[in-house]
A and B are shown apart, each in its own frame.
Chain A
Amino acid sequence: MAYLELKNVSKQFGNVIAVHDFNLDIEKGSLVSFLGPSGCGKTTTLRMIAGFEQPDQGMIRLDNADITAVPPNRRDIGMVFQAYALFPNLNVGDNVAFGLEMKKLPKKEVNQRVTEVLEMVRLSHIANRYPHQLSGGQQQRIALARALAVQPRVLLLDEPLSALDAEVRVALRAEIRRIQSQLGITTVYVTHDQEEALSISDKVVVMNNGRIEQVGSPESIYRQPQTRFVATFIGTANQFIGKVHDEHSVECEHIRLQVADIRHFSKGEEVVVLVRPESVQIQFEPTQKPEWNLLEGIIETVTFHGAVTRIGMNVHDQRIVADITYSYATPISLGQRCWLTFRTESCQVMGVEK
C-alpha cells in the first residue's frame, strides 16, 4: 500500500518543462532516492512534495489524502536542505525546538523532545552553541534533528551531503540511514551522486529531463539498466552500436557480437550493446572460449584506481575500457596488442532510441 503517491505530476517554468508526467508510489517507512544530473527535475519534484512549488497538473497524496493544495506549513513534512539552513539567530537547542514551539507544545515536552533528538544525532553536548560555531557536518546533523523533532510524516532531504567533505559525507550517510531505519520514517532523498543513491536507498528513481528513466532497487538499477541513459549515468558502460543479425547476435561495423537471447527485437533493428568494464577481461593470445566474445585491440592507457586498474583500448577506432585486478606478474605496456573478451550474458542489449 503506497503511503506517498505522485500521480501525473507536471511542472513547467516558463518554457522549460521541469517535471513531466511523474508517477510514483512510495511505501511507508522506505527510503527512496531521486537520482539524476542537475536540472533533471529531482529537486523540483521534492519541492512539490514539500509544498514549495505547486504542480501545474497532477496530484500528490499522502496517507490517502490529497495534499496538493495544502500549504507547506500544514503538510507535516520535514525538510533538510543542502545549505543546512539553520536559523543563525537561534542556538542549536532553539533551532531544534522551533517546530515544536510552532505546534504550541508545553515547554516541558519541548525540552524533553529536544534532548531526545539531539541524543539521536549524538550532539547533546552542543545544545547551547550557535550555528556558526559548528562544522558543516554538525550543522547538517542539527538540521536533521530539527526536521525530525516534530515527528513529520515524511522526511525530505535535498542533496544534504553535497556541501560536505568526502569523509564526513560517507559517515553522515550511514548515520542518516541508521536513524531513518530506526525511526521507520518515510524518506525521499535527492542526490546527483550515484554512489550515495545506490548505497543508502531501498529504491532508486533515476531521472533525466524531467522524466523517470527507471525505478528499482539499487542492484537492479546497476545490473539491469533499462535505458542507455541509466546504463551510462550509473557507472561506466562500453557501447557497441549495430543491427540485430539473429536471435543471438548483433552485427556491428567490424565485428559480430554474440549476445544472450534477443528474440524480442526484430531482425535488422538498430540496437546498442552495453558491456560493463568489470565484465571485460584481457588476454594476450587469441583463445576463443564458447559463450564469450573475443575482440582484438591495442592498449592505449593504463590508469591505476586502487582496487582495480582501468585499461583503455582501441578496438577498431572505438575506445573500450576494462577494469581488471592488476597483477605485477603480467606486465602491460602501452601500444601492446591484446584480446579482450566478455561473456555473452554480460551484454545488455537495448534499442538505440532509448
Chain B
Amino acid sequence: MLWVDKYRPKSLDKVIVHEDIAQKLKKLVSEQDCPHLLFYGPSGSGKKTLIMALLKQIYGASAEKVKVENRAWKVDAGSRTIDLELTTLSSTNHVELTPSDAGFQDRYIVQEIIKEMAKNRPIDTKGKKGYKVLVLNEVDKLSREAQHSLRRTMEKYSSSCRLILCCNSSSKVTEAIKSRCLNVRINAPSQEEIVKVLEFVAKKESLQLPQGFAARIAEKSNRSLRRAILSLETCRVQNYPFTGNQVISPMDWEEYVAEIATDMMKEQSPKKLFQVRGKVYELLVNCIPPEVILKRLLHELLKKLDSELKLEVCHWAAYYEHRMRLGQKAIFHIEAFVAKFMSIYKNFLISTFG
C-alpha cells in the first residue's frame, strides 16, 4: 500500500493538516445535529480524508466497512423509463457516489437515491444517528438541472438524510445549494504543513530525512499533499538513504508542458503552432484536464518571460481560460492562447531587437 493511503488519518483527532477544521467538525457532529456540508478545495488538500474521518466520527468503525456496488435504477420520467447504472460505495449508514458519471441524466440519480435513502430510514437506536449520509463527489460537474432538483430534495428529506457534497470549486455550484449547506473550504496545505506531514511519515517509516529535503519536496509538490507524499515515497524507492540534493522526479506531463513552452519561445509561426497543437492533443488524450494544461503552460511561460510581458500574458491566459470554460472544444482556446502568446512575444522580440 502506498504511504498516501497508509498514513491517511482515520479519525478527526489524528488529522495533521487541517486540524482546526477537523476539531470544529468533530464538535459539530458530536454536540448537535449535522447540517448539509459542502467541502470544496483543490485536489490533494484532504477533502476526502476529512469526509471519511467525519463519517467515522459519526458512525464509528462501521463506516469503514464499505462495499462497491454497481447499481441500476429504473427511473420513471413521465412518458418513458430511464435505465441508469452507477457505481456506488456504501456502508450501512452512508452512500457515496459520483453522480456526474451518469452524464446528463444525473438529476434522476440524485433524486432517486435520496428518496430511496429516505424511505428506509434507520431506526433511531441509541448512540446512532437518525439519519443517513449521502456523499456526492464532483458536485461542480453536476448539470444545472441536477443541482436545481437537488435543492428541493435537500430540504424535503433533510430529516432522514444528510448530504456531504465535495467539489473542487464552489463557483460551479449554484447559490441555492451553497446557501443550504455549511460550506467548508479546505485550502491546499501550506508548505510548512506539508513538511510536517512528510516528517511524520518519515518518522513512522523510520527514515532519515536530510536537512531541507522535506522542504524541497514540499516546494515541488504544488501544495498537494498527495503529491508530496507520493514523491517522498518515490525518492525512497529510487535512492535511500536520501541525499540532500537528490533529484525529485517530476511529473511527466509537466515536463511535457515545459517542452511546449520552450517550443513556443523558440519559434513563433503557424507551423510551430501546428506542432504545439499536436502536443496539446497528446496531453488531452492522456486525461490531463485542459484547464490544468493551460495553467501549467502559463506557469512555465512565466518562468521564462520578461517581467514586462507577464501581465499581458496572464491577462490573455485568463481570458482564454474563461472562454474555454464557456465552450466545449478546449483545443480551440488553448491554441488561441498559444497563438496570442506567440504574437505578443514576437512583437516584443521585434521591438527590442529590431
Does chain A bind chain B? no
